[in-house]
Amino acid sequence: MKEFVIKPARNQQELEQCLSLRKKVFTEEKGISSEIERDEQDNLLSDCDHFLADLEGIPAAACRCRQIGNQTIKLERFCVLKEYRNKGIGKQFLEELEEYYREKGVLEIEIDSKYQVFPFYQKCGYQICSGIFLEAGVEHLKMKKTI
């Protein structure tokens, strides 16, 4: 596999790369309305961190992270472009995010996983902690991991 680097979005251009990638995955591929997919947290002044996985100059994956407690981060809008799935990028992305936040004193990460992909998160050590619920018309499960 080619080398990829995960980095936080530090400027508007990098944020736009994250948002463009999310649009391709969530709006164009998955059919999620752009009014739901983007919100007030999608700017550099919000309390969210935005991350991009760059594969030799090509944006391949993105994630938004929001602090929801003193020591808890919630992963949001995590996506990998279709052509890069099942190549280990998602797993490595999560591992690097976990290390990044562990160094900042975070103890727990949670995610509202789409039901169809929860086995991926289980393989990465996340535990189901809710029943199925609907978000944007799609079945989800809340999952958590102690880091």
- The pLDDT tens digits for 23-59 are 999 899 888 888 888 888 888 888 899 999 988 888 8
Give the whole-angstrom CA distance, residue 55 versus residue 60. 6
According to DSSP, residue 26 is labeled I
Q: Any idea which fold 4-106 has?
A: Aminopeptidase (3.40.630)
Residue 98 banded pLDDT, cuts 50, 70, 90: very high
Domain boundaries, the chain: 4-106
Dist CA 111 CA 124 (whole Å): 12
E strands in 1-147: 4-8, 48-55, 58-69, 72-80, 108-114, 127-128, 133-135, 138-146
Largest CA-CA distance found in the chain, in angstroms, rounded: 39
Query: What's the predicted TM-score (pTM) here?
Result: 0.88
- pLDDT value, residue 128: 98
Q: Is the pLDDT of residue 1 over 60?
A: no
Q: What is the pLDDT of residues 100-114, one digit of tens each?
A: 999 999 999 999 999
Q: Do 12 and 50 touch, CB atoms closer than 8 A?
A: no
| Contact partners, residue 1, CB within 8 Å, separation at least 6 | 87, 88
Asked whether the beta carbons of 76 and 97 are under 8 A apart, the reply is no
Tokens of 139: 């079945």
